[in-house]
Amino acid sequence: MPVPNKIKIFDWRACKDGLPTKTNLLSKHVPIDGTCSFCNEKEEGACHALVGCKFLGETWLKVLPRLDIGASSNVFYMALKFCMAKLWDNLSIFFTVAWGIWYKRNKFFHDQIVVSPHNATEHALSLLKNYKVVYKKNRRQVQDFYQWKVPQEDFLKLNVDGSLCVEARKAGARAILRDRTRRTLLAASILESDVEEVEHIELLVIFRGLQLCAGMRIHHIQVESDCLMVIEALNQESMSNSLYGEIYHEIKQLSSLFGECLFTHVYREANMTAHLLAQCGRQVESITTWWDCIPDFLSQI
């Protein structure tokens, strides 16, 4: 089944009823309320959490219209029907979307952060789509696919990334600006305090990067991040009512200072310079910048 390994592991656990659902936690004598946190009507078993909750019905109807939700109370037997019918693409979609829904459930259960079924599903399906593109390529093609690519004509490219230290509530924000000749115009490493969420630092580093570029008279800029959820949210303008809506609005205001500002997702392998620069971001006292050059330890990247 052509899905990422982390989804395969999730699939195996779901089919074996090995997910830490409330029903399973209760069976291990964990003192919690076993009712579903979303519908507050039924116990949260694996099938209910991934498929059966009434707030997921519309999502599954759009993704897999022929999925018979009421026919089985077991994830394994639902998947088995796809196998028996040799609907391998549907099987991949079923497990990938279920993984996204489980991610949504965990964000609420552990962090009290609400992710809509639509956003969770779109994020999961985007992951599957990109994986299938790479899955069909040979080793050399995969290496080329993951390499950093020069920006389109008349654009500069700003790669950003963030690293989080939850215990210290600190994060490193890093940004690197390059042109079509691969020349580095600016590199920056910034220490941020009072940051506890990955989504927060990934938004914050985009904001800081655009702040640094705002006074450089840049007309066209392309911002690349390896945080797919943040990039999609910025492009779909779906963060205005989120916990980080204020940063979202500030990013939009900064982006309006450029003639054109694009937000694109890139895999971490193609964002490695910014990723490694982040490791130094948590070491600096406030901000360190390099103009027309990069640190020596990044010169070979």
- List the one residue out of 63, 283, 30 whose CA is nearest residue 173: 283
Q: Are residues 97 and 204 in the same domain?
A: no
124 lies in the same domain as 165 = no
Based on the fold, state whether residues 167 and 294 are members of the same structural domain: yes
Note whether 54 and 39 are within 8 A (CB): yes
Asked whether residue 169 is domain-assigned, the answer is yes
Confidence label for 19 from pLDDT (cuts 50, 70 and 90): very high
Whether 145 is covered by a domain: the verdict is no
CA distance 294 to 185: 9
> For residue 201, what is the domain's CATH number?
3.30.420.10
Question: Could you report the per-residue pLDDT of 248-277, keeping only the tens digit for each?
Answer: 889 999 999 999 999 998 877 666 666 565
Instruction: Among 106, 136, 166, give the residue marking a domain's end.
Output: 136
Q: Domain check: are 160 and 40 in the same one?
A: no
Of 1 and 185, the one with more pLDDT: 185
d(CA 272, CA 275): 5
In whole numbers, what is the pLDDT of the chain averaged over residues? Answer: 83
- Say whether both 211 and 248 belong to one domain: yes
> What integer is the mean pLDDT of 36-57?
91
Specify the pLDDT at position 143. Answer: 62
Among 75, 106, 136, give the residue marking a domain's end.
Answer: 136
Provide DSSP, 231-296: HHHHHHT--TTSTTHHHHHHHHHHHTTSSEEEEEE--GGGGHHHHHHHHHHTTSSSEEEEESS--G
Question: What is the domain extent for residue 290?
Answer: 156-298
**Which of 109, 85, 94 has its CA nearest to residue 56?**
94
Question: Is residue 57 a part of any domain in this protein?
Answer: yes
Q: Are residues 218 and 258 in the same domain?
A: yes
**Is 58 in the same domain as 128?**
yes
Looking at the fold, whether 230 and 260 belong to one and the same domain comes out as yes
Q: Same domain, yes or no, for 36 and 131?
A: yes
Query: In the structure encoding, which two tokens stand for residue 133, read together?
Result: 């593109």
Backbone angles phi, psi at 178, to 5 degrees: -135, 160
Mean pLDDT of 121-136: 82
SS3 44: coil
Domain C-terminal end among 108, 136, 164: 136
In a domain, residue 40? The reply is: yes
Q: Kindly state whether residue 25 falls inside one of the protein's structural domains.
A: yes
Residue 78 lies in a domain: yes
- How many whole angstroms separate alpha carbon 61 and alpha carbon 92? 16
Tens digit of pLDDT for each residue in 193-245?
Answer: 777 677 788 888 999 999 999 989 899 999 999 888 788 888 887 665 566 77
Q: Is the pLDDT of residue 35 over 70?
A: yes
The contacts of residue 112 (CB under 8 Å, 6+ apart) are: none
Q: Is residue 141 part of a domain?
A: no
- Model's pTM, two decimal places? 0.57
Same domain? For 59 and 183 the reply is no
Confidence of residue 281 (pLDDT cuts 50, 70, 90): very low
- Is the domain of 163 the same as that of 244? yes
Q: Is 191 left (phi over 0), alpha (psi -120 to 50) or beta?
A: beta
Distance, CA of 162 to CA of 244 (rounded, Å): 16
> Is residue 162 helix, strand or coil?
strand
Helix 5-15 crosses helix 88-111 at what angle (to 10 degrees)? 80
Nearby residues of 268 by Cβ (< 8 Å), 6 or more positions away? 161, 226, 275
Distance, in Å, from the CA atom of 120 to the CA atom of 267, rounded to the nearest integer, reads 19
**191 and 74 within one domain:** no
142 domain residue, yes or no = no
Q: How many domains does the chain have?
A: 2
Q: Is 76 exposed, middle or buried (0-12, 13-18, 19+ CB in 10 A)?
A: middle
Helices marked H in 41-192 — which ranges? 46-47, 57-63, 75-84, 88-111, 117-135, 139-146
pLDDT in tens, 94-114: 999 999 999 999 888 887 888
Question: Which single residue is written with the structure tokens 């580095």?
Answer: 184
